[in-house]
Structure 1
Amino acid sequence: MLVFRASKDRGAASFGWLNSKHTFSFGRYYDPTQMGFSALRVINDDEVAPAAGFDTHGHQDMEIISYVLQGEIAHKDSAGNIKTLPAGEFQLMSAGKGIYHSEFNASDSNNLKFLQIWIQPNQFGGAPGYQQKAFERQNGLNLIISPDGRDGSLQMKQNAFLHQLILPQGEQLALPVQADRRYYLHLITGSLQLGEQRLQPGDGIKVAQLSSLSAEALEGPVEALWFDLP
């Protein structure tokens, strides 16, 4: 099963300082057919004006991933973390029993673009956690997040994996899929053929009940996020 989600069909939010596209229901955008997929609950494609951002707010029992596409995030939280997250780096904040944080555009002159992703955990309560790392961008699938922190990846409280997919134009890759797992692909750059579906930036696709699947970079380089979900 492949279920396509076109970029143009995502929910939209605009507050002057923030323009956002919502893959799944979030905030004022509600679509009962788009409430997440498996443990994946949120993919927000955010663009934040200079020196603006999200004031201090709280989360509980959620795995929150930020991936910066352009600019830098100034992060501060109630666990004492004061960090700057530059373009190309991944951040994973485990909310646990509760955490408060703020996220601001660290620049006074340039817009910030980043993906905000929420994954529902399979462990609840416990102390909040913070992880941040830059990964090498190698062709193929690059492991970013796993349940056990294998191979230097960030560790998440869920039986799920996040890979960064990098493909030069014209290159093909057989994606590792199992019929009893679910997968989601979000395309960031390039043009990608996934099975019989062609994707453009901002598009996504749900994958389930498949034992084989191939990807081809039609226009590149392709960058995408590949979620392996329970």
Structure 2
Amino acid sequence: MFTLHRAEDRFQTRTDWLDSRHAFSFAEHFDPARLGFGPLRVVNDDRIAPRSGFPPHAHRDMEILTWIVSGSLTHEDSEGHRITLGPGHAQRMRAGRGIVHSEMNLDATRPLHLLQIWIEPAQRGLVPGHEERLFTLAPGQVVVVASEDGAEGGLSIARDARVLALRLERGDRHPLVLDPARSAWLQVVQGAGRIGTTALAAGDALAVEDESGLEIEATAPLELLVFDLSPRA
């Protein structure tokens, strides 16, 4: 079975430089029924104005993934990492026992669009770390963006989970093979599609349980992130 979560039902934070949509409870937005989905705690869809961003702030005990949709992000942290990421880049920051970082859009004219994902690690107090990779999404090809210990060629995360990316052209169909003993969260990044009679637009998500597979059809060029998650506690 799956549960549809519409883009317009997400929490929203708006400032003069940020438009952020939150799939789950985040910051001042709180709903005890929306604390996450298994180990997936945050899926934020952020649009950041030019010459703006998040100044230095602290995190701990979270695997934080950033997926760049458009624009460029400059990341700097207390472990000495400084890097600028563009479309197709994914970054994993292991907050572990504590890390401070900033995330800035230093471009003078172009806005930045990214998804930030927080996954709860299986163990607390890990050594902080950072990893990034550039991924090429060929239409119809599933790419492993992250997996436990990076065993499948993606970024490494300290959790029994996988993050997959898929891009489809309009009219393409693609089967998603799932394990019914696990759960999955499907996040539409860009474009539109449908699963059966359920239409999906950018920002929509599906929470999936007890399914062995789904077929998605792109009704417009489509980009999708799939979170394959360990059984819910």
After TM superposition, the score normalised by the length of structure 1 is 0.96
Query: Shift of residue 199 of structure 1?
Result: 0.5
Partner of 1:135: 135
Q: Residue 88 of structure 2 contacts residue 136 of structure 2 at CA under 8 Å; is this kept in 1?
A: no
Distance (Å, rounded) in 2 between the aligned partners of 1:151 and 1:178: 17
Partner of 1:70: 70
Q: Residue 21 of structure 2 contacts residue 46 of structure 2 at CA under 8 Å; is this kept in 1?
A: yes
Query: Shift of residue 225 of structure 1?
Result: 0.4
Letter of the aligned partner of 1:222 in structure 2? Answer: L
Partner of 1:40: 40
Query: Shift of residue 33 of structure 1?
Result: 2.0
CA-to-aligned-CA distance 1:125-151 (integer Å, 9 cap, x gap):
121110011012122311110103134
Q: Residue 140 of structure 1 contacts residue 173 of structure 1 at CA under 8 Å; is this kept in 2?
A: no
Distance (Å, rounded) in 1 between the aligned partners of 2:197 and 2:160: 28
Partner of 1:171: 172
Q: Secondary structure at the match of 1:150?
A: coil
Q: Secondary structure at the match of 2:79?
A: coil
Letter of the aligned partner of 1:9 in structure 2? Answer: D
Aligned residue-pair number? 229
RMSD across aligned C-alpha pairs, in angstroms? 1.2
Partner of 1:208: 209
Partner of 1:158: 159
For residues 1-230 of structure 1, the aligned pairs below 5 Å read 1-138=1-138, 139-219=140-220, 221-230=221-230
Distance (Å, rounded) in 2 between the aligned partners of 1:87 and 1:136: 10
* Identical-residue share of aligned pairs (%): 38
Q: Secondary structure at the match of 1:100?
A: strand
CA-to-aligned-CA distance 1:5-54 (integer Å, 9 cap, x gap):
00011111111111111111101212222211011110111111111111
Query: Shift of residue 198 of structure 1?
Result: 1.4
Stretches of 4+ moved more than 4 A in 1?
Answer: none
Distance (Å, rounded) in 2 between the aligned partners of 1:210 and 1:224: 18
Distance (Å, rounded) in 1 between the aligned partners of 2:50 and 2:136: 28
Q: Secondary structure at the match of 2:219?
A: strand
After TM superposition, the score normalised by the length of structure 2 is 0.95
Q: Secondary structure at the match of 1:8?
A: helix
